[in-house]
Amino acid sequence: MSEANDPRAWAKKAEEDYELARSALLRKRPLTTGACFHAQQCVEKYVKAMLISKGAEFPKTHDLLMLNNLCSNAGIFLEINPKLLNTLTDYAVRTRYPGEEPTEEDAKEAMQIMKSVRTFAKSFLGM
């Protein structure tokens, strides 16, 4: 099995994003942009890991709502408010450029969403 088709390889990458998000927020001067971006990336990779585990295909996308719909079609029910997923989706691109910087509260919310999905995904994947 190639790494691209291995749910555990995706989970390993998700864990790197989890650690980066956490460490960005724990700094003396929190790096809110990095925390939000890596929280989104963690969720995206865990969702894709679950889809792969079910043999479901997905397009190259950062759209967590679309991925959540694919999960539902594959029998994976995240039990998370779609508005929260949409909030994270925005951080995939918006945080990469100057302009609307996320606040510390935004970053804390992103971390909570990430932790919720991470807990679900790790249980789902038997980790």
Q: Give residue-wise pLDDT tens across range 62-119.
A: 999 999 999 999 999 998 999 999 999 999 887 777 887 899 999 999 999 999 999 9
Homologous superfamily assigned to 3-124: Nucleotidyltransferases  domain 2 (1.20.120.330)
Q: Give residue-wise pLDDT tens across range 45-61.
A: 999 999 999 999 999 99
Please tell me the distance from the alpha carbon of residue 52 to that of residue 17, in angstroms, as a whole number: 19
Task: Please answer whether residues 100 and 94 qualify as being in contact, where contact means their C-beta atoms are separated by less than 8 angstroms.
Answer: yes
Map tokens 């969720």 to a residue: 43
Give the SS3 label for residue 18: helix
Instruction: Give this prediction's pTM.
Output: 0.93
Instruction: Name the packing angle between helices 104-124 and 82-91 (round to 10°).
Output: 110
